Every structure is written in C-alpha cells, then in structure tokens.
Structure 1
Amino acid sequence: MTNNDAGDEAVLQLQDLLMGTENVEDFLGRLSEFSAATLSHSVGAEIECGVTLQRRKRTMTVAGSSPRAVTLDRIEQSLGNGPCIEALRTKSLILLADVDTDPRWPDYQLQLAANGCRSTLGVPLEIGEDAAAALNFFGADTGLFTEEIIAEAAGFADLAGRVLRLAVRIGTAQSRAEDLQAAMEHRTSIDLACGVIMAQNRCSQDEAMAILTRVSSNRNQKLRVVAAEVLRNVTGEVVRTHFEA
C-alpha cells in the first residue's frame, strides 16, 4: 500500500468514526482508541493514548484508550504542566523521550515512572477557533517514539484535525440554516397575523403591524408569540408554516 493509499484509508476510517459519534468528546474518545491501536501496530509494542481538550484556556482529560491512559493524562492535568499541555501551548509536537533523563517536568516524570510509563509524546490537534485538543501517547519503554513514529503521529493528528474542523464547519452551517428557517417561519406567522388584523379592523398593513407591536409591548411577549395567538384564536389550532430545506 502506498503512502497516499494509507492516507486515504485513514481519512475514511476517521470519517466513519465521526459519523458514529454525537459530539466532539465522543469522537475524541474513539479517536484515542484508534490512535493507540494504530501506533501500537507500527511500533510493535503497546502504546496508550489520552486526550486533553482545551476550551477557553482551560484543559481537561476527556478520553483515553484505556483507564490507565486516562489516569496518566490526569496526572499532567493535576500538576498543570507537561508535554501534552506544552504541545497545546506551542502547537507543536513535544517528546518526553526518557522520564529518567529529561529535566523539564521532574514531578510529572516521577509519577509517570511510578505508573510504569517511561516515555510520552504530545501531539496538538486543532479543532476550531475556541477549542483545541492534544493526543498524549504513553510508552512503557524508551526508544519507542522514533522519528518515523513521530512523523506518523503528526500526520495522523493532521488528518484527524481536518475531519474535526470540517465537522465543526458543517455543524455551524447547519445551525445557521436552522436559525434562518426558524426566522422565516416566525416572519410568515407575523405576516399572516397582520392579514387577520387587517381583515378584522379594515386597516392597512402598517396599522396592523403597529397593533401587533403594541400588544407585544403591553404584554411583554415576543412578537411571534402574539402573532401565533392571533392565528390560534382564528383557527382554533396552532398554525404551522412550512419550508423545504
């Protein structure tokens, strides 16, 4: 299989993961399992994966490929610093190659060693304007995260980020479409109510709209609520407007 074929296959697998989830956190949970299995296969040894989600500058562990991966990731969250958080801050891959020799996070590294973890790799994952995530890979030995494995993890995270950003854009577009449709339906209800008032009072459209607005203000109710009541009084039932998406 060529690199392009492998990349296309990864995209399809990530899209399948996304289609089977209901929200970002659920997708990240499945992504952690898929990421750990993919790198474990490449390394030939067990790799575990935790996922840190950052929103409004706050970070939290949201998923893991195993209960131990969640525990290891939460150690970093409790201390407030480490390779995964550094990856989020710098938007770059951060390797902790050996917990015994790296001088950067001594408290964190002592706890990793106590839990049987000898090396980690933090990989940033861009989601959208107000959120980011990082994959935190854990190895039981040193020397597992070679240049080839690091490149594979980076490429995989890039693909996952693209899928997630597309999902966010689609979700935003769908939300805007739903908001627009709701606004059109409300506008039509108001226009219909104006027509009823025009017929009942033999007045102009502007005068009918002024009546609706005055009632809305006096009752402290939204204009669409008053319009719906006018239509319900005429028909005896809730009047629904329809728009095809």
Structure 2
Amino acid sequence: MEPTGQAEHILSLHELVTGTADIKGILQGVTGFASKAMSQAAGAPIDCALTLRRRKRTATVAGSSDKAVDLDHIEQSIGRGPCLDALDAGRPMLLDDVSTDTSWPEYSVALAAEGVGSALGVPMDLGETSEAVLNFFAPVAGLFTDEVVHEAAAFADVAGSALRLAIRIETVEQLNIDLKAAMASRTTIDLACGVIMAQNRCTPEEAFEVLGKASSHRNQKLHAVAADIVAHMSGSDDVSLKFED
C-alpha cells in the first residue's frame, strides 16, 4: 500500500470510529472501505465480509453487500475455507481458482454456484479477547495477485487498529452502563431495607436478611423484591416483610 493510500485509509477509518455509534455500523463501514480499496487494486469489483468474534459473545458479521454476508455464512456452516483457516494460521489464505483449487472443495463448489471465482481470507490482529477476519470475493480467478494480497494485508493492519479502538470504546461505555445499573440497584436495595427497618424496628443487617429470605422464597432476584417494595412505599398495597417472610 502506498503511503498516500495508507494515510487515506487511516483517516477514513478514524472518522468512521469517531462518527459511528455502534460496533455493527463500524464493521459495516470497514467492509465498504475494504471493498473499495481492493476493487481499485484488483481492477474489478471485489466484495468483502468481516466476521468479529469476542469472548462470551456471538459472532458479528457485516458485509459490503448482502451476497458477501451470505457467502461468509456458507463458509461458517461448512466449517472450512480460506477465512477460517486464515484465523488459525494468522496469515492470508487464498483460494485462487474455485475450479482447480482443491484446498476447500466443498466451499469451492458453493462459491462457484454463487458466481464467485476466487476468495481471500485476511486475519486482523485485535489482541487476546477478540478476533476478526476479512473475507474477499472476486467474480473470476486470478485477481488476487501477490500485489493485491499485500494490499489486503496492509489494509487489515490499519483496519485492525481502528477496530481495537472501537472495541475499547464500546467496552468502556458498557462498563459505565453496568456501573450505573449496579449503583441504581444498590440504591433500591438500600431504600427497601430502610422500609423494612421502619416496619420491623430492626437493624440494617436484619433488614437485609429479611429481604434476602423474601428473594429466596419468592424465587425473585433481590433487586426485583426491593424494587417492588420501593414502588409501593406510598401506595395502598401491603408489601411489608416480616422476619418470618
């Protein structure tokens, strides 16, 4: 990748990360940039799909077209192909010609049926907690020359940096949301304990024990029982909890 082209990709991806609200939108934007960059390098239309996997989360797939996403899903269902092998190998994997390459016979047949002549999988370095791969599709064989493969790998390096930043931002935002929720839950529990203390003339520890027993007996989460008490504090419904509840 020429320095000018790389600078353009860095700027575009930075603007994408800072200007897009969710990770799905960022992935969609990355595949659009990747498709455009590879189409220019190959001199023919190249589709791109991107699969992102994170711990304890299902895979997120985006594509420059619906067809690219479908082709990626086919490989996932088969369980073999250049995209998946690129993740394992940590380097680009090329299916140069679906009519002659025997590396992934089942996937080659599926690609040929969809009018695809060749495919290229390029992994992205996202650190220990995430992994992603770009899957490029060309209408004919032979378009993924050494130069084009090098261009794809260089783009993946730049895009990987942008995705790492986007994932960090999303993680921090989610932590803030979780913290606010935890604080709200703690406040609700404290208020409910205050109600129980007033009703039973007991200590905070005894009130919390009463709340815990009610949670267990009712098969409800502690916060749900507390929220019910707080919601009816000034109402007519009797939601008082006694030591024996």
Once the two structures are TM-superposed, the CA of residue 185 in structure 1 deviates from its matched residue by 2.0
Q: How many Å separate the matches in 2 of 1:36 and 1:100? A: 23
Pair 1:114–1:203, CA change in 2 (3 A): closer
Pair 1:195–1:103, CA change in 2 (3 A): closer
Once the two structures are TM-superposed, the CA of residue 137 in structure 1 deviates from its matched residue by 2.0
Q: How many Å separate the matches in 2 of 1:115 and 1:191? A: 60
Deviates further, 38-47 or 200-209: 200-209
8 A contact 2:83–2:121 mirrored in 1: yes
Q: How many Å separate the matches in 2 of 1:207 and 1:111? A: 66
Q: How many Å separate the matches in 1 of 2:53 and 2:197? A: 55
Give the TM-score of the pair, scaled to structure 1: 0.71
1:72-87 mapped onto 2 (5 Å cutoff): 72-73=71-72, 76-77=75-76, 79-87=78-86
Q: How many Å separate the matches in 2 of 1:236 and 1:15? A: 53
Pair 1:195–1:154, CA change in 2 (3 A): same
Gaps of 5+ in 1: 238-245
Pair 1:67–1:205, CA change in 2 (3 A): closer
Pair 1:105–1:210, CA change in 2 (3 A): closer
Q: Which amino acid aligns with 1:20?
A: T
Q: How many Å separate the matches in 1 of 2:48 and 2:219? A: 53
Q: Which amino acid aligns with 1:22?
A: D
Pair 1:136–1:198, CA change in 2 (3 A): closer
Once the two structures are TM-superposed, the CA of residue 53 in structure 1 deviates from its matched residue by 5.4
Q: Which amino acid aligns with 1:231?
A: V
Pair 1:196–1:91, CA change in 2 (3 A): same
Gaps of 5+ in 2: 237-245
Once the two structures are TM-superposed, the CA of residue 148 in structure 1 deviates from its matched residue by 3.2
Deviations 1:31-69 (A, max 9, x none): 32321111212333332323455678xx98944434554
8 A contact 2:42–2:148 mirrored in 1: yes
Pair 1:151–1:225, CA change in 2 (3 A): same
1:12-31 mapped onto 2 (5 Å cutoff): 12-18=11-17, 19-20=19-20, 22-24=22-24, 26-31=25-30
Deviations 1:107-156 (A, max 9, x none): 54466556654443211134565653322223345553333322221121
Structure 2 residue matching 1:49: 3-state secondary structure: strand
Once the two structures are TM-superposed, the CA of residue 23 in structure 1 deviates from its matched residue by 4.0
8 A contact 1:128–1:168 mirrored in 2: no
Structure 1 residue matching 2:33: 3-state secondary structure: helix
Deviates further, 68-77 or 37-46: 68-77
Pair 1:222–1:49, CA change in 2 (3 A): closer
8 A contact 2:23–2:167 mirrored in 1: no
Q: Point out which structure has higher relative CO (alpha carbons under 8 A, 6+ apart).
A: 2
Q: How many Å separate the matches in 2 of 1:77 and 1:230? A: 49
1:183 is matched with: 182
1:152 is matched with: 151
Question: Please, what is the CA RMSD of the aligned residues?
Answer: 3.8
Give the TM-score of the pair, scaled to structure 2: 0.71
Deviates further, 83-92 or 65-74: 65-74
Identity of aligned residues (%): 50
